[in-house]
Structure 1
Amino acid sequence: MPYVPLSWLAEHVEVAPGTTAETLAAALVAVGLEEEQIVPPPVTGPLVVGKVLSLAKETHSNGKTISYCRVDVGEHNDPPGDGAEPADVSSRGIVCGAHNFDVGDHVVVALPGTVLPGPFPIAARKTYGHTSDGMICSAKELGLGEDHSGIIVLERLLGADAVPAPGTDALELLGLGEEVLEINVTPDRGYCFGMRGVAREYAHSTGATFTDPGLPENLPTLPPPATADGFAVELDDDGAPDAGLDRPGCDRFVTRIVRGVDPAAPTPTWMVSRLVQAGMRPISLAVDVTNYVMLDLGQPLHAYDLAALAAPIVVRRAAAGERLTTLDDVERRLDPEDLLITDSPGGARGGRVLGLAGVMGGAATEVSPSTSDVLVEAAHFDPVSVARTARRHRLPSEAAKRFERGVDPRLPAVAAQRVVDLLVAYGGGTADPAVGDVDRTGTPEPVLFDPAAAARLVGVDYPRERVVGILEQIGCTVTTTADPDTATADGAGDTTVQVTPPSWRPDLVGPAHLIEEVARIDGYDEIPSVLPAAPAGRGLTVSQRQRRDIARALAERGFVEVLSYPFIGDVHDRLGLPAEDPRRATLRLVNPLADDAAGMRTSLLDTLLETARRNVSRGNADLAITEVGLVTRPAGIRAAAAPGVDRRPEHHELDALEAAVPDQPRHIAGVLTGRRLPPGLGPVPAAGRLADWADAVDAAKVVAETVGVMLTVRRGETMPWHPGRCAELVAGDVVVGHAGELHPKVISELDLPARTSAFELDLDAVQAVSPAEPIQVDPVSTFPPAKEDVALVVDADVPATDVLAAVTDAAGELAEDVTLFDVYTGSQLGEDKKSLAFALRLRAPDRTLTAQETAAVRERIVEVAGERVGAVLRA
């Protein structure tokens, strides 16, 4: 994010006295630039200018040579005497390990109480036999660079005539005592990635006078026109149509040459300070100057070692197999979509790759400590091309951040001239008269705009003059043109205006964008907050109420509702789904959040089991979780072309789009692991009860019964469930889901506890067979119930649900509850036999049942069960 120091901002716009970082943030928020944070000064406390009065070198037993100095720090001096050299001058004694300064030099002194970057607090301390009452600082210790070898000598930094008196505040001198505002810039406001853009927005907010540093007339030296002997550049690119890039990746390329730059020339302190404030590391004068101009104007630049280049420079797309070692010393395999800067060593046109255009340069031609002749590049690259390259190579460079948001195509010549001027001024170089400028840029497209539309869309009564004035204020050119469609018979009529956006606003391409600018500059706080009247409604739908009831019913039984992402990878292999299983047909995303999760789930268990695994891996092993969500079944869909946005789609286009949308039924699923009931609390605690397949079946029944549907449970076999412990759940004549214990291989693959159980239901299918009318609750009978137990012997392969259905039907209306409470097998019953014991609670609404009536129910149960499933009463 951009950093805004007030002192830098004030070079381009009139900043009111007393303005602080907080008031600056408030002004910028008013025009849509959000405050990210206020960065405190890197150095606090008494940092002052000092003059070295004496210097005594001492070599100690550890072999280190130190200098004990007496330093004049003005009003901060100690009293005279006390070992001072000379004794009649007040000063401070400081121990220093550097040796690049001498008596009479002016240095930067951190007095006790100063806090340097780190943080590193300074205090008086005893060392090497002396009391060091402060510290003489290097550039690195102040955060002004990486040079830790030598002390800052102000005569070399500022010039002998510009050195202030001892005791002068060095925080202001070096720009270290200033708060910096960090702002957040939206993608459509890329011009605010330069101080030029932020200053413009501050002027819009406050009405302050703004001087545009991007205009040639505001430069000390006007940019010269291109010359025939300028460094040769060829733009050999028409885009990458196969990748959807249908325009050239570069439409302007400016080159300037500065010769005789002193490789050892230091970057001026004020520039180093601003680079540090902006979060950048000072490197060398040539590199620092290009970075500084980029931060100031918003135009990325690049400096090449001219001696390492061979003309011409060619801008082209990468060829298969090409590689580049970028400035971060990483060798990268290039993609045919990558736009490259190349040169021609040995006459091979476009033969050597110099850098990724608009992203990062290459190591082969970077400015080195011996570079004296510099080629400056200032170009304009296509935002989409740069953005794709930066993401492909994971290189979010400062240049890429600006190019991908759109850079002013009129800036390259101005920015290059600024770099040339700074290299001449601070590096002792000479500007070469040869100038290169390949310019294929066009003018922004005008927008036909009705000023009255702003009031209609925003709801604020903007006068026409106010609308036009705001558009001109942000840099647009507005011309009035009669609209023939609204003209009256006598020639009068409403008028529209033709608005040509400024070159630095590529985002202004339609009337809605212009209206947004009007609302922004006039003030979002001027837009009234009107609460619309709530229309009459019918509340929740039946389906919504049912889903809430289901969630509440499961929560009452200990389930916790979760929400998982619907994106999947190879989960179907881990769940053991057969190759022909329709759930393997997955809709794949073109631009997934993660490469290993590019598909949409076809079952809730695809993602819910991963949620269970993550909980178990973090020690939460006793789980009962549930989720309601959509699954995607892409079978039968047909691809459809996207209609344009310039008109309403035709009916056949809408039908095609509808056919391209996959079926997305709503499912509900649950997973149970570990203990279903915790240990008891009595004197001899029980071990609790582990969750099993029956709990999963019971939970599925709860879901269905909540919406008035009775599930039929029968034996099933489908992955990922255990083949012998899987129940198929049927509503009406439709299979709506499965429940039971998971397959051991699936449990092992997902690292879940043994005997993990799960259920999944097609909730849409369950709700489709639920009663249309609300469930009517029967009155509670005041008569006592009669209890009866019946044990029936059937063949071992007869499903218990079939026997339960026979018992329930035979008991008829008197059966208030029928429960299977015991299953027994043994030699007493005979081979391949089992006994099922049912507990019946019988009750009549109008009388107390007699013994004869309950006996008749028992006999009827034995008779019906014998006819249906071959059951006999157990002796």
Structure 2
Amino acid sequence: MRVPLSWLREYVDLPADVTARALADRLTLAGLEVETVDELGSDVKGPVVYGRVLEIEELTGFKKPIRHCRVDVGDANGTGEPQEIICGARNFAEGDLVVTSLPGAELAGGFRIGARKTYGRMSAGMICSASELGLWDDHSGIIVLPEGFGAPGEDAIGPLGLREDVLDIAVTPDRGYALSLRGVARDTAALYGVDFRDPADVAVAAPTGEGPAAEVDPALCDRYVLRGATGFDPGAPTPLWMKRRLHQSGVRPISLAVDVTNYVMLELGQPLHAWDRAALRGPLRVRAAGAGEKLETLDHVQRSLDPDDIVIADDSGPVNIAGVMGGLTTEISSTSTEVLVEAGHFDAMHIARASRRHQLSSESSRRFERGVDSAVQLVAATRAAELLAELGGAAVETAYTHIDRTAEREPVTVRASHAGSVAGVDYPEGTARTWLRRIGCRVEEEGDLLRVTPPSWRPDLTDPNDLAEEVIRFEGYENIPSIPPRARSGRGLTAGQRLRRAVGRTLADAGYHEVLNYPFVGERDLDGLQLPAEDGRRAALRLANPLNEEEPLLRTTLLPGLFKALARNVGRGFADVALFETGLVYRPRQGAGRAPLLPVDRGPGADELAEIDAAVPEQPRRVGAVLAGDFERAGWWGPGRAATWADAVQAARDVARTAGVELEVEADQHAPWHPGRCAALYVRVGGERLLVGHAGELHPRTVKAFGLPERAAAVEVDLDRIERARPPVVAPEVSTYPVATQDVALAVDASVPVGLVSAALAEGAGELLESVRLFDVYTGEQVGEGRKSVAFTLRFRAGDRTLTAEEAGAARDAAVALAAERTGAVLRG
């Protein structure tokens, strides 16, 4: 909502020394966030004066019509002689009063005015258009002022309002009253403790007879007003002051009838609609749209109506989507002389749904869906009709329609000290009563209790906490002391939180960059993963109101988001990428029903909690990573190394090592990984072998579906399962005795996983073994076709003595013997 300060001052006796920025700070602290203060015309410098066109000479011989004008600017030019100005506009004549900028002036945008010779004549200044002055957008010609507006030579900057401070307020959905000068002025008056002049506080004479016929569905509209104006001059111009205020408020001037309804809407907050009465057929009806009905709206779009839409209809059918946009066939035209003004109080939820359904957000719908005053309709319609009469020569009909089915608001009972209890501040006695009355509430005191009846313009005030918020915001949020909570001793991060942070640090240290993706996917993403129809990851929860229609499902795996992030980075020139994400996935339970809607006046029972838990999907925490390009870059230190499936497996090992868990790796086939380069990852929990994830190179079809680089690799593991497998943390014993190192090279069948060989060596080596590490894999003629050589370093150490060569050799031989027994390994010389 854009609020010109001069317009606001018409309703509030603000002290003269209050600046726009000071007011913006006060309003922001009171809950009306002022995003910017626009100082319109601050860059306009004089002399900009009124001028009278004395003589016009038409110049010929040029590609476009050019006029040489002599303009009376009084003594503003220092000589009193007429000013010679070249102008190309055609919409003015001799004797017209215009706005003239003289040499030395500077207009909006840094446009400086000087004297120069052009088209063979001297031009000293410029006759200005509304756009050049920054008054409003109008490129049709220069601005011609009405008689009596000013005398030649007088300054035009002040009287025309070229300089104005405008507050741009970001109105939250619960404060619809602030979408009007009336609402902002009331809050301003309360903040400064000054008088407020309510523009809606006017008496409207009773009707002298029956007005236009109307039928209203009370479930859709509880107050409806129709006022007619006859003899309207459709050619009557909108006055300059109204155009200027509309432009400052962000509304484009169109025509007098439309401008009047917009002006009253900005002033009072009540959206209005004006019809060409001659185009209506029969009585108006406020009803729900019928199935299959259509309406061409003012934006020339044919719209299919929904039974949930509120429409205004006559005998020909719908002529207006109530509260959203009017119909094309009944709009005010250049020949309309009979005007019918409508003001209604429509159901906010219907308007909000219609606006979203038709993707049609208007100034009217923005106000209705936030809640408008249910008592201002008659005043607003009357105000608009009287402006049409005053500015357009119309006569206001004394007979009008006013259907009122509004109900009295029920009072809200609240303790006088409730606001202080909520804020944690001891407010003085009477504070709540004072502020609530200032915003228009009717307050009755009953001991320590207040019976508060909110005003019609505050539909958002419905319970004690709403009233407390009003008191607190006017007392000042900044006056609430900031007292940080003190954590109890011994409390801190949980074991799971520490593990998640440690995993993140480990992967970051390994060269991965963390990303946070939206938890939404689409069927296309699941197809791109090459998931079979029976795969459990296809059973995804569908959102009732997705942000993106192409991604309406909650993710069952982290991989699609990581793939898209990888493709986006590669597409922007980063060829070597390693990303990881830690987050939840959502796996629906079989046979789960809907979660119950619980009351708010009590806590849930055990049965209700169980029902909620049964409806909520399982949400395991996963860690996923994806990598492509070079994992180790080339440089002066040597050649680089491309990322492979082995790096993805190593990322899983790093995660498991951080958790203190041993990971077992086996070959597997699992989408979306390449069948020959996929590893299944296991941990042991109490003797049970538990699958925790997969890693490896991605399937070429998946690579193509997501636009990934060739040979891209990925890993995804279940962090919750890894955490469950964590052994108790025991401080390691550190031996001061030296280590004994033994290397072994074993030849095994190429199909034997290296992990099995490593596990057999570790078990066979016994308790003296400190670690076993693979350092080489070789295939070639020396080991034979279909076989491979794997070399390990075994480290032995005793805690109470220095090992002898015989002890280290015996442990090594035992390790080799068990590996040979289990895997068929043969020791190489």
Counterparts in 2 of 1:565 and 1:113: CA distance versus 1, 3 Å: farther
Q: Distance in 2 between matches of 1:65 and 1:744?
A: 68
Q: Partner residue of 2:491?
A: 538
Secondary structure, aligned partner of 1:602: coil
The one of 300, 305, 322 equivalent to 2:271 is: 300
> Does the CA-based 8 Å contact 1:263-1:371 persist in structure 2?
yes
Q: Partner residue of 1:805?
A: 759
Q: Does the alignment pair 1:517 with 2:470?
A: yes
The one of 152, 155, 158 equivalent to 1:169 is: 155
Q: Partner residue of 1:241?
A: none
Counterparts in 2 of 1:113 and 1:661: CA distance versus 1, 3 Å: farther
Counterparts in 2 of 1:65 and 1:658: CA distance versus 1, 3 Å: closer
Residue 90 of structure 1 deviates from its aligned partner by 2.1
> Does the CA-based 8 Å contact 2:341-2:381 persist in structure 1?
yes
Residue 110 of structure 1 deviates from its aligned partner by 1.9
Q: Partner residue of 2:449?
A: 496
Deviation readout 1:214-257 (Å, 9 max, x if unpaired): 1223xxxxx23346531111113x6xxxxxxxxx2221111111
Q: Which amino acid aligns with 1:201?
A: D
Residue 66 of structure 1 deviates from its aligned partner by 3.0
Counterparts in 2 of 1:840 and 1:356: CA distance versus 1, 3 Å: same
Counterparts in 2 of 1:582 and 1:395: CA distance versus 1, 3 Å: same
The one of 530, 553, 559 equivalent to 1:605 is: 559
Q: Which amino acid aligns with 1:384?
A: M
Q: Does the alignment pair 1:450 with 2:415?
A: yes
Q: Distance in 2 between matches of 1:205 and 1:620?
A: 54
Q: Partner residue of 2:89?
A: 98
Q: Distance in 1 between matches of 2:574 and 2:108?
A: 44
Q: Distance in 1 between matches of 2:775 and 2:479?
A: 72
Write the mapping of 1:394-409 to structure 2, written as runs, cut at 5 A.
394-409=359-374
Q: Does the alignment pair 1:768 with 2:724?
A: yes
Q: Does the alignment pair 1:356 with 2:304?
A: no
Q: Partner residue of 2:692?
A: 736
Q: Does the alignment pair 1:36 with 2:27?
A: no
Secondary structure, aligned partner of 2:378: helix
> Does the CA-based 8 Å contact 2:46-2:104 persist in structure 1?
yes
Q: Partner residue of 2:570?
A: 616
Q: Which amino acid aligns with 1:336?
A: P
Secondary structure, aligned partner of 2:613: helix
The one of 326, 334, 337 equivalent to 2:305 is: 334
Counterparts in 2 of 1:860 and 1:455: CA distance versus 1, 3 Å: closer
Residue 569 of structure 1 deviates from its aligned partner by 1.3
Counterparts in 2 of 1:862 and 1:535: CA distance versus 1, 3 Å: closer
Q: Does the alignment pair 1:135 with 2:134?
A: no
- Further displaced range: 362-371 or 118-127: 118-127
Counterparts in 2 of 1:691 and 1:417: CA distance versus 1, 3 Å: same
Counterparts in 2 of 1:598 and 1:96: CA distance versus 1, 3 Å: same
Q: Does the alignment pair 1:704 with 2:656?
A: yes
* TM score, norm. by length of structure 2: 0.95
Q: Partner residue of 2:743?
A: 788
> Does the CA-based 8 Å contact 1:27-1:206 persist in structure 2?
no
Q: Distance in 2 between matches of 1:151 and 1:833?
A: 91
Q: Which amino acid aligns with 1:810?
A: G
Secondary structure, aligned partner of 2:430: helix
Q: Which amino acid aligns with 1:135?
A: M
Q: Which amino acid aligns with 1:747?
A: V
Secondary structure, aligned partner of 1:95: strand
* TM score, norm. by length of structure 1: 0.90
Counterparts in 2 of 1:152 and 1:706: CA distance versus 1, 3 Å: closer
Q: Partner residue of 2:709?
A: 753
Counterparts in 2 of 1:185 and 1:53: CA distance versus 1, 3 Å: closer
Secondary structure, aligned partner of 2:227: strand
Runs (5+) with no aligned partner, structure 2? none
Q: Does the alignment pair 1:555 with 2:508?
A: yes
Write the mapping of 1:858-869 to structure 2, written as runs, cut at 5 A.
858-869=812-823
Q: Partner residue of 1:817?
A: 771
Secondary structure, aligned partner of 1:377: strand
- Further displaced range: 364-373 or 796-805: 796-805
Secondary structure, aligned partner of 1:355: strand
Q: Partner residue of 1:655?
A: 610
Deviation readout 1:331-354 (Å, 9 max, x if unpaired): 222222111111113xxxxx2x21
Q: Which amino acid aligns with 2:164?
A: E
Q: Does the alignment pair 1:235 with 2:216?
A: yes
What is the aligned length?
822
Residue 435 of structure 1 deviates from its aligned partner by 0.3
Write the mapping of 1:419-434 to structure 2, written as runs, cut at 5 A.
419-434=384-399
Q: Distance in 1 between matches of 2:457 and 2:720?
A: 53
Q: Which amino acid aligns with 2:529?
A: L
Q: Distance in 2 between matches of 1:738 and 1:593?
A: 30
Q: Which amino acid aligns with 1:569?
A: G
Give the RMSD, CA atoms, in angstroms.
2.2
Q: Which amino acid aligns with 1:691?
A: A
Q: Which amino acid aligns with 1:313?
A: L
Q: Partner residue of 2:676?
A: 724
> Does the CA-based 8 Å contact 2:51-2:100 persist in structure 1?
no
Secondary structure, aligned partner of 1:415: helix
Write the mapping of 1:41-80 to structure 2, written as runs, cut at 5 A.
41-42=40-41, 44-46=44-46, 48-52=48-52, 54-62=54-62, 64-79=64-79
* Percent sequence identity over aligned pairs: 51
Q: Partner residue of 1:26?
A: 25
Deviation readout 1:741-760 (Å, 9 max, x if unpaired): 11111111111111111111
Counterparts in 2 of 1:427 and 1:681: CA distance versus 1, 3 Å: same
Residue 802 of structure 1 deviates from its aligned partner by 1.7
Q: Which amino acid aligns with 2:4?
A: P
> Does the CA-based 8 Å contact 1:558-1:624 persist in structure 2?
yes
Q: Partner residue of 2:168?
A: 182
Q: Distance in 1 between matches of 2:425 and 2:343?
A: 43
Counterparts in 2 of 1:869 and 1:531: CA distance versus 1, 3 Å: closer
Residue 429 of structure 1 deviates from its aligned partner by 0.7
Q: Partner residue of 1:86?
A: none
